[in-house]
Amino acid sequence: MPKLYSGAEIVFKCLEDQNVSHIFGYPGGAVLPIYDELKNFNSVKHILVRHEQGAGHAAEGYARSTGKPGVLLVTSGPGATNAVTALTDAYMDSVPLVCITGQVPTHLIGTDAFQECDTTGITRPCTKHNWLVKDVNDLAEVMHKAFEVATTGRPGPVLVDIPKDIQFQKAKYKSYKNKKKLNGKSHDNYSQKNIDELINLIRKAKKPIFYTGGGVINSGTKASELLRELVYATGFPITSTLQGLGCFPADDNQFLGMLGMHGTYESNNAMYSCDLMINVGARFDDRITGKIDEFSPKSKKVHIDIDPSSINKNVKVDLAIVGDIKSVLTSTLKTFKKSKNNFSKSNKHQISKWWEQIQKWRSKRSLDYIGSEETIKPQYAIERLYELTKDKDTYITTEVGQHQMWAAQHYKFNKPNRWMTSGGLGTMGYGLPAAVGVQIAHPKKLVIDIAGEASVLMTMQEMSTAVQYNLPIKIFILNNEYMGMVRQWQELLHDKNYSESYTAALPDFVKMAEAYGCVGIRAKTPEELDDKIIEMLNTDRPVIFDCLVDKQENCFPMIPSGKPHNQMLLGPKDQKEKKITGKGRTLV
């Protein structure tokens, strides 16, 4: 007779079979049987967070920096509801998460029992799928299916809700069978004909651009390599969304910088004026497109995406290629090489005028800012941080706001999986716990959370986690005492009515660091900035770095939302010189 295992044991046997080495969690009444088994499974290490949202973001950081699914374990009721923000964040940014929640015993479900909530009901719209396990015999299969759903196709979060009595009951363990097909849902759905069409469009293009996104990163490091190969072979310019940063080297001449609301002048103008747009793994988000009716009006649009529902959702495209980026790019390169050997030469000639135009836009130097001797400009802080860390293999996480955009603009990423930020949901408080997750996955690497003082206070308690596990994460706070992005919008669009965007009673971050048992460093002037950053980098413990920056600085360039790409707002330097013509200048 085969051995019987308790539900709690089955959970861990599944985690072992799925090669899960770390889970992030917080115990509570309805998951105690699972926590009881933890001691018997040495291959799974549990990281105790200080809030379930932190567990979720840490798992996201872990997943984004490794390409493996992140796992979190939380209790019923408040444990589950606290995880909802992180699940929604992962859903928006396509991060594979497996969330295991405890639930009240089956006979109490529906009675408003203590710490009961309708977990599967609450999380239905923010997961790819979820399960309430009502029979212990289904548990193993559900757990394995959960990993399969989270990691296949467009990745995303899933949730398995396990009532406490199921955790005690015994059943046989069914091991994992790798099934190729999921309920008839295939992921590669394109033909050679599509690829030929793409090659044909590439051949004819005079003003082409690659517009790449997080899908390239989700498709694995190989996808980034293939993308680089294709971009070099074609000689086309490339721009990237916030989530796609790192899949193409930011210091390469063909890279135009990030596009969208705070993207560079050259990338947004190139998007507006191009005749061929090749979208690789991006989703035409509203922060990218601006006003849909005037989005890139003259271009043929190609969209390569694994998610069929992303095609034609916001922007109608001329050629849709549904498939995994890695496999699509492999076929494209193969066809490309076969069809034309001297193609790249002739084509580069054809697009030389286009490059001239791009250089003109580039010469605007839209990321420039007015420096200062007295106060630290936030852009300067990021630049210095980049210069002093670029030789290390650095992982950057961020919170949400101005600092996030400055980090995206001024920190240059050259490898995929090095940039973890909350793009879709825009979750303030994401960066600190995400840094915890990244550092768990990469114990020897440098992990920095570029933060704002307002965001970081939302999940500050996770510093305690970092200290407990000796995670030397660096929290680099650009402190301007304002919710900077809110302040910026109020200045530009709400007649400088700074309603509730100033934080009057901030903690002393240096003392706070000491209270948590880590190291606090403060930089007040540009002069001392480098030394302080070096001091931070030389500290082998968690650091909170309080960088006091210019309080009034705004993040430019900017497309006011609801405006097309060619109506950008440039920075103060440019505004002073009155260089810009067109409607952009008069927008605010």
Q: Which residues bind other proteins (CB under 8 A)?
A: 120-121, 124-125, 128-129, 132, 134, 149, 153, 182-185, 286, 290-293, 307-309, 311-313, 316, 489, 493-494, 560-562, 587-588
Of 125 and 443, the one with the shorter C-beta distance to other proteins is 125
CB 399 within 8 A of CB 431: yes
Residue 107 burial (CB < 10 Å; 0-12/13-18/19+)?
A: exposed
Amino acid at 587: L
Catalytic residue list contains 453: no
The structure tokens listed for 270 are: 């190139």
Of 423 and 433, the one with the shorter C-beta distance to other proteins is 423
CB of 474 to other proteins, least distance (A): 34
Of 55 and 95, the one with the shorter C-beta distance to other proteins is 95
Per-residue exposure over 124-135, b if at least 16 CB sit within 10 Å of its own CB, e if not: eebbbbbbbbee
The structure tokens listed for 62 are: 């872990």
Catalytic residue among 458, 460, 483, 485: 485
Question: How many whole angstroms separate alpha carbon 211 and alpha carbon 231?
Answer: 11
Catalytic residue list contains 164: yes
Pick the closest to residue 492 from 418, 552, 414, 578 (CA basis): 552
Helix, strand, coil tally for the chain in percent (to 5): 45, 15, 40
Of 125 and 507, the one with the shorter C-beta distance to other proteins is 125
End-to-end CA distance of the chain: 76
Catalytic residue among 16, 41, 68, 115: 115
| Helix/strand/coil for 546 | strand
**Which phi and psi (to 5°) does residue 114 adopt?**
-60, 130
| Helix/strand/coil for 488 | helix
Of 313 and 524, the one with the shorter C-beta distance to other proteins is 313
CB 494 within 8 A of CB 485: no
CB of 542 to other proteins, least distance (A): 38
Of 11 and 317, the one with the shorter C-beta distance to other proteins is 317
CB of 397 to other proteins, least distance (A): 27
Catalytic residue list contains 552: no
CB 110 within 8 A of CB 175: no
Per-residue exposure over 259-297, b if at least 16 CB sit within 10 Å of its own CB, e if not: bbbbbbbbbbbbbbbbbbbbbbbbbbbebbbbeeeebbe
CB of 125 to other proteins, least distance (A): 5
CB 479 within 8 A of CB 375: no
CB of 494 to other proteins, least distance (A): 6
Question: How many whole angstroms separate alpha carbon 105 and alpha carbon 182?
Answer: 30
Catalytic residue among 164, 207, 326, 377: 164
Alpha helix (H) ranges present in 411-525?
Answer: 431-441, 453-456, 463-468, 484-493, 509-516
Question: How many whole angstroms separate alpha carbon 64 and alpha carbon 67?
Answer: 6
Catalytic residue list contains 147: no
Sign of CA dihedral 466, 485, 277, 269: negative
Catalytic residue list contains 52: yes
Catalytic residue among 52, 116, 266, 553: 52
Of 311 and 358, the one with the shorter C-beta distance to other proteins is 311
Q: How many CB atoms sit inside 10 A of residue 257's CB?
A: 21
Sign of CA dihedral 26, 30, 31, 32: positive
Of 206 and 494, the one with the shorter C-beta distance to other proteins is 494
Catalytic residue among 45, 114, 179, 511: 114
Active site residues: 52, 114-115, 164, 485
